[in-house]
Each structure stands twice: as structure tokens, then as C-alpha cells.
Chains A and B, each alone.
Chain A
Amino acid sequence: NAGVTQTPKFRVLKTGQSMTLLCAQDMNHEYMYWYRQDPGMGLRLIHYSVGEGTTAKGEVPDGYNVSRLKKQNFLLGLESAAPSQTSVYFCASSLTSIETQYFGPGTRLLVL
């Protein structure tokens, strides 16, 4: 099992560009999450999904969109990147809402 994988690992964008981050899990988990981590802060939830075809807003959803067309994939989109979106993005998945969340290795994004 690969667990949770994230693509890409690193990316540099210019302000106004768009991109999509891909998260994939092979554990047949229902729940998937996107977080961002900024220096000196804990993780903050951007969006989450409780099953295929569903998405919901987390604590900091503005400027991001998500899609969960397939159970194993959870995509995070930035339509018009801003320097404030420079961060490390983590994806996670869990079997149920109270089961252990398994995290991916992260995507480091720099927006110039």
C-alpha cells in the first residue's frame, strides 16, 4: 500500500496562475481532507469530503475549490493564486470521521 500520496511535491507559481494539487489514497477511505500549514501554526482545514461526490468547507476555504469525482482522489484547485496561499499543503484520509487520519507527505507551494 502506498497510503496517501500527493502530487506535486513542490511548485512555484506566479500571482494569478492556477494549479491543481492531487491527493490519492489506496486504503478505500471514505473521508478525505485538505489542510494548509503555515510557519509557527498548526494545520488549518481547507475543505473536506465525507464520500465520493461530496465536498464541504473547512475553516479556511476562500480561494480554493475541491472535487471528489472518484473515491480514491481528492483534488484541490487554486483558480488565481495569491502570495497569501504560499504554504505547505497536506492531504489526509480516514475510514470514518473518528478513525485515524493518515497524512500525505505534503506539497510545498510558493506563490510569487
Chain B
Amino acid sequence: AQSVTQLDSQVPVFEEAPVELRCNYSSSVSVYLFWYVQYPNQGLQLLLKYLSGSTLVKGINGFEAEFNKSQTSFHLRKPSVHISDTAEYFCAVRPQRSYIPTFGRGTSLIVHP
């Protein structure tokens, strides 16, 4: 079985500042890794995913994440946030031989003007 820990339930930040949302996972098998964003009263939207290859993954809206296999982490970063980035962010892992993902509990990113 796998598990996902999002280390911060809430991250407040000022507009135009950099941000990092942390995600650690545990799994005994090889996994795919995902970051999703959820705006209020909406479904989830994929930001980026790591399947294989380069450990630095670039996604939409200027976000990027780095897969660190030795530390079993997949932290999400953005160099300069905007008010519109205020949302809930979910990290998820899925074993490569399974269709069933495990999601973290989410991190609420709050961008202040």
C-alpha cells in the first residue's frame, strides 16, 4: 500500500513571492506522481505529472515539481505567485501497475495582496 503526506495544511504567502508545497510519499513499488489544483466549488485540474524521465517536471500556470526518489518527495514550486493561485492543492501517487491512486489531504494556498 502507498501513502501520501502533504506536510502543510495551509500555506499563506504574499503575491509575487515564491512558494513551495511539500509532498512526501511511501510505496513499495514504482509509482506515478501527480499534483492537482482545486478551485472553490470545482473539480480537480491536473497541474503536472511525473511518469518517467527527467525528474524536473513543468506544468501549467508556471508550476513545476521535482521528483526526488531517495527522499520520496515530489514538492511543488512556483517562483512568483498570483492572487489567482489561491486554491487547494493535492498531491497524488499511483502504483504503475494499478489504477487506484492515493491522494494527500491537500494544502490550502492562500495568496495575500
Contacts and interface: CB of A to CB of B under 8 A. Distances in A.
Interface residues of A, number: 23
Given A42-B4, A43-B90, A98-B32, A90 B44 contact: yes
Contacts of A90: 43-44
Interface string A42-65: 111100101000001011000000
Contacts, number: 54
B103 A43 contact: yes
A100 B4 CA distance: 20
Contact of A98 (B43, B44, B51): B51
Contacts of A103: 43-45
Interface string A76-112: 0000000000000010100001101101111000000
Contact of A97 (B43, B46, B99, B102): B99
B100 to A, nearest CB: 5
Contacts of B99: 31, 45, 48, 50, 56, 58, 97
Interface of B: 4, 32, 41-46, 49, 51, 90, 92, 99-106
Interface of A: 4, 31, 40-45, 48, 50, 56, 58-59, 90, 92, 97-98, 100-101, 103-106
Given A31-B99, A90-B44, A106-B41, 10 more contacts: A40-B106, A42-B92, A42-B103, A42-B104, A42-B106, A45-B100, A58-B100, A97-B99, A101-B44, A103-B45
